Amino acid sequence: MAAAAMTGPRLDIAVEGKRFDFLPEPLLERLDLVVESSSVVALVGPSGVGKSTLLRMVGGIDTLFSGTVLVDGVPAASAQPAGFVFQDARLLPWLTALDNIRAVRPETTEAAALEMLGRVGLSGFEHYFPHELSGGMQRRVALARAFSVNPRLLLLDEPFVSLDRTLVREMEEVLSALVEASRPTVLLVTHLPEDAAMLADRAIVLAGRPARIAADYRFDIPRGQRSREQREAIANQIAASIGMRETTA
């Protein structure tokens, strides 16, 4: 059991149907996906296809669907809460970086929160309030907070959106180091194929309404060991399948 604690959970996603009242078609239908323990899977696809909704279902936040989403065999809503990072940092403005981390999980000790801030490169900024931190630093606090909630399962919803490329690279490095050290299972929603090529072991392309898995790429060369050319080739492959689905939709 000790070894199992070092890995992320396996996800068994078997969605029979997910609808929203105002949508004439189901958003998701018969969507089956197994995510292996400790893998980093990018979810890509056009805006509105249902990526964020699927993430909320895996996080146990959205339970209004038919089918099952299991986290190590346990229904998502009953599993240990996942670490979530949203499109914006969503820090509480009246709390310091340190207290933002502790607020989501009161059992987190001050020492653990400080260590987590160190791991995202923010030692020395623990008593800063969100407005005193740059946008990139705020995102890193959000990542540290997600990791404090659950270092085994991370659900990242466009965590780099509206950061400039230098800050994206910085966040990617911080995230990669955390992933290498703690080996969580990660679902990364992104609209940028380059992010998938940089960080993921596998990319799932969602397309259509109801959304289906239009492509499922597993990359042979481990993340972190890909040359720029190899990343470009992967990104082009993903982009082509998104573009192809959009033009044939």
Interacting residue ranges for ligand ATP, rule: CB under 6 A:
20, 22, 27, 47-53, 191
In one-letter notation, the amino acid at residue 70 is: L
**With respect to ligand ATP, which residue has the nearer C-beta, 97 or 242?**
242
| Shortest separation between residue 91's beta carbon and ligand ATP, angstroms | 20
Minimum distance between the CB of residue 88 and ligand ATP, rounded to whole angstroms?
12
Nearest C-alpha neighbor of 191 from the set 27, 28, 41, 47: 47
For residue 43, what are its two tokens?
Answer: 């979810």
Compute the distance between CA of residue 147 and CA of residue 182 in angstroms, rounded to an integer: 10
DSSP 61-126: S---SEEEEEETTEEGGGSPPPEEE-SS----TTS-HHHHHHHH-TT--HHHHHHHHHHTT-TT-T
Nearer to ligand ATP, 49 or 203 (CB): 49
Residue 51 or 119: the one with the smaller Cβ distance to ligand ATP is 51
Measured from the CB atom, the residue of 48 and 118 that comes closer to ligand ATP is 48
List strands edge to edge, sheet with 185-189.
Answer: 83-85, 153-157, 185-189, 40-44, 202-207, 212-218
Report the C-alpha gap between 181 and 186 in whole angstroms.
Answer: 13
Task: CB nearer to ligand ATP: give 20 or 181.
Answer: 20
Q: Closest approach of Cβ 15 to ligand ATP, in Å?
A: 12
CB 114 to ligand ATP: min, Å? 33
Q: Compare residues 133 and 160 and give the one whose CB is closer to ligand ATP.
A: 160
Give the orientation angle of helix 165-182 with respect to helix 110-119, to 10 degrees: 120
Question: Rounded distance, CA 132 to CA 225, Å?
Answer: 36
Residue placing its CB nearer to ligand ATP in the complex, 25 or 132: 25
Closest CA relative to residue 205, chosen from 241, 158, 167, 243: 241
Is residue 130 within 8 A of residue 91, CB to CB? The reply is yes
- Smallest distance from the beta carbon of 166 to ligand ATP, in angstroms? 23
Nearest-approach distance from CB 42 to ligand ATP, in angstroms:
13
CB of 198 vs ligand ATP, minimal distance in Å: 19
